[in-house]
Amino acid sequence: MNPKTKIAVVFGSRSVEHEVSIVTAMQIFENINREKYDVIPIYIDKQGRWLVAEKLGKIDSFKNLKLTDVKAPEYVFEASPSIAALVLKSRFKFFPAQGWSAFGGNKIKADIYFPAIHGTFGEDGTLQGLFEMADVPYVGSGVTGSAVGMDKIIQKAVLKENGIPVVKYIWFSKNEWRENKIEIIKNIEKDLGYPVFVKPANLGSSVAINKANGLKELESAIEIASHFDRRIIVEEGKEGIVEINCSVMGNNELTASVCEQPIKSEQMLTYEDKYLKGEKTKGMAGLSRLIPAPISEELTKKIQEAAKRAFRAVDASGISRIDF
Q: Is 161 exposed, middle or buried (0-12, 13-18, 19+ CB in 10 A)?
A: exposed
Question: What is the C-alpha to C-alpha distance for residues 226 and 116, in angstroms, rounded to an integer?
Answer: 26
Residue 122 DSSP class: T
Instruction: Choose among 68, 69, 98, 102: nearest CA to 88.
Output: 102
Q: CB under 8 Å, gap of 24 or more: what pairs does 261-267 form?
A: 261/289, 261/290, 261/291, 261/293, 261/294, 261/295, 262/287, 262/288, 262/289, 263/287, 263/288, 263/289, 263/290, 266/211, 267/211, 267/241
Asked if 10 and 22 count as a contact pair (C-beta separation under 8 A), the reply is: no
Strand 92-95 relative to strand 85-88, pairing? unpaired
Question: What is the C-alpha to C-alpha distance for residues 86 and 80, in angstroms, rounded to an integer?
Answer: 11
Q: How far is CA 262 from CA 80, 84, 250, 270, 292, in A?
A: 43, 40, 24, 11, 10
Residue 118, CB-side half-sphere exposure with 13 Å CA sphere:
19
- Known binding residue 323? Answer is yes
**DSSP assignment of 239-277:** TT----EEEEEESSSEEEPPPBEE--SSSS--HIIIIIS
Q: Which residues contact 190 (CB under 8 A, 6 or more apart)?
A: none
Instruction: Choose among 113, 116, 108: nearest CA to 11.
Output: 116
- State the Cα torsion 34-284-125-255 to the nearest 10°: 80
Residue list for the binding site for Mg(2+): 323
Residue list for the binding site: 323
